[in-house]
Amino acid sequence: MPSLSRLLPFIIQGLAFGAMYAVTGTGVVVLYRTTGVVNLAFGAIGAMGAHLTWSLMGGSLAAPEPRARGWASCSTPASCSTAR
């Protein structure tokens, strides 16, 4: 059996995805209960947020793997400096 240190990232990722699905499901239920209509734009707003995050993190359709550009490269103040 793998050690806990190897399983910990998967446990955290699973909890994060579960929380995301729970919040999304709760939002759909609240919208349905208050309006009585299934609002399909709820998923479109989530897709737009995912696309915006992917674009800001440096992903593209030509090379579909995120790279450390965009806002991710500004994680340290030295990398954001424009003076050389």
What are the residue ranges spanned by the domains of the chain? Answer: 4-80
Distances in Å between the Cα of 77 and the Cα atoms of 14, 45, 46, 67, 82 are: 31, 32, 30, 18, 10
End-to-end CA distance of the chain: 51
Please give the radius of gyration of the chain, using alpha carbons only, rounded to the nearest integer. 19
pLDDT tens per residue, range 35-53:
998 887 877 888 888 888 8
Please determine, for residue 14, whether its predicted confidence score (pLDDT) is greater than 80. Answer: yes
More confident residue, 42 or 7: 7
pLDDT of 25 reads 87
Cβ-based neighbour number of residue 45 at 10 Å: 11
Residue 71 corresponds to which tokens in the numbers above?
């806002």
